Amino acid sequence: MNIECINDIKGFIKLKDDWKILYKNYNYSIFQSFEFNYYSWKNILSQDYKNKLCIILVTDNNKKCIFPLYINRKKELKFINYEHIDFCDSIANYPINFLEIYKYMRNNLKISKISFTNLCESSCLFESIKNLDLKYKTKRKISEYSYLNTAIGEFPYNVKHYKSHEKHRIRKALKYHKNKEFDIYYSSKDAFPINEINELKRIMIDLSIRNKNFLSSNMIKLINELYKKDAIVLSILKENDKIVAVNIILKLLENKFLFWIDLYSNQKMLNIANYSNFIKRYSEKNNLEINFGRGRYFYKTSNFAPIFKDLFQVDIHFNYFNNIKSIIVNILLEKIKLIHKKLF
């Protein structure tokens, strides 16, 4: 077995062909694709000179595995662009043995800890790491993700588990915005509406719907790159020829999408109507799976009643002090979350 760290952009590009082969080998999310990771590094993470590229490549005859990682300014080993990724994972063409990879990371990389965030229970990495007996390893649930399956037919009547009140809420949103023009933008026919996206971003920040760091210019560059690669479609609502809502949607498969980033002006039920129009349009002719991404947000549960599953974080420290500090911080964060839920 050979394990190495790819730490420069030329080496990153050389991995492209092998990466694409591995990516097609399993049901990975778009967050594991070469394009997502390459443009995330190029447009976002490389802008901070203290971030160090650290893609781990494992080869053993015909077996290959890639960990799309970097080392941040705190010397933590993390997945590339993990803050904007709903599902993190390594990609491989065999069941990995993380213990050997861990030994390499610990002995050869100048890092303070390993931190793998947003792992699904079904992910290749989580399967390998969850029962591994490492001295300072912590595993905890940090969030949830949700998804909705629809049959071919008219939404919302094509969702088997919907009750009358859920159907009513969706019909109400569609009716409220029935005079708006709905469209789906594809890179093959539509220019990327960067000015309109920036304007909706400004509106949301001004209204305190999002904070001032929402959707940085570098993040918009990444989205544009992915749009040009046909990895993204845009769900659009217009009023008097002006775009008033944009859902940035990751295209996973022909009938599988992930609602990623929402932009909208301050109108009642506007975002819900945009979601519903998109689901309605696609499910007329196809069975459909919509992934709502991370978080148990009220608008998801109350309007779309999706199925929820857990997301995990695994941290591996290298000494007792840092491990205890991490445990205390995690306990405090959980208490703060509970207090926030009770207050709001």
**pLDDT for residue 342:** 60
| Cβ–Cβ under 8 Å, residues 35 and 229 | yes
**Reported pTM:** 0.88
Give the percent of the chain with pLDDT over 70: 97
Residue 338, Cβ neighbours under 10 Å: how many?
A: 10
| Cβ–Cβ under 8 Å, residues 287 and 151 | yes
- Per the prediction, the chain carries an average pLDDT of 92
| Cβ–Cβ under 8 Å, residues 159 and 148 | yes
Q: What is the mean pLDDT of residues 241-263?
A: 94
Instruction: Report in angstroms the alpha-carbon separations of 194 from 33, 40, 63, 191, 221.
Output: 24, 18, 42, 9, 9
CA 107 to chain centre: 30
**pLDDT for residue 271:** 94
At residue 301, does pLDDT exceed 70? yes
- 8-state DSSP, 232: E
**pLDDT for residue 168:** 93
341 confidence band (pLDDT: 50, 70, 90): low
| Cβ–Cβ under 8 Å, residues 87 and 118 | yes
299 confidence band (pLDDT: 50, 70, 90): confident
244 confidence band (pLDDT: 50, 70, 90): very high
69-113 tens-digit pLDDT: 999 999 999 999 999 999 999 999 998 889 999 999 999 999 999
Q: Output phi, psi for 40, to 5 deg.
A: -65, -45
> Pick from 307, 310, 256, 248: which is nearest to 275 by CA?
248
Instruction: Name the helix (H) or strand (E) containing 336.
Output: helix 320-343
Residues 6+ positions from 24 with CB-CB distance below 8 Å: none
Q: What is the mean pLDDT of residues 4-30?
A: 93
131-188 tens-digit pLDDT: 888 888 989 899 999 999 999 999 999 999 999 989 999 999 999 999 999 999 999 9
Name beta bridge partners: 311.
120, 143
Helix, strand, or coil (residue 148): strand
320 confidence band (pLDDT: 50, 70, 90): low
- What helix, strand, coil percent values describe the chain, rounded to 5? 40, 30, 30
Q: What is the mean pLDDT of residues 54-74?
A: 95
215 confidence band (pLDDT: 50, 70, 90): very high
> Pick from 86, 13, 24, 12: which is nearest to 55 by CA?
12
Name beta bridge partners: 264.
245
Q: Which of 133-142, 184-193, 285-294 has the lowest mean pLDDT?
A: 133-142
Q: What is the mean pLDDT of residues 229-257?
A: 94
| Alpha-helical segments (H) within 2-141 | 9-14, 16-24, 34-43, 98-108, 124-129
Residue 287, Cβ neighbours under 10 Å: how many?
A: 14
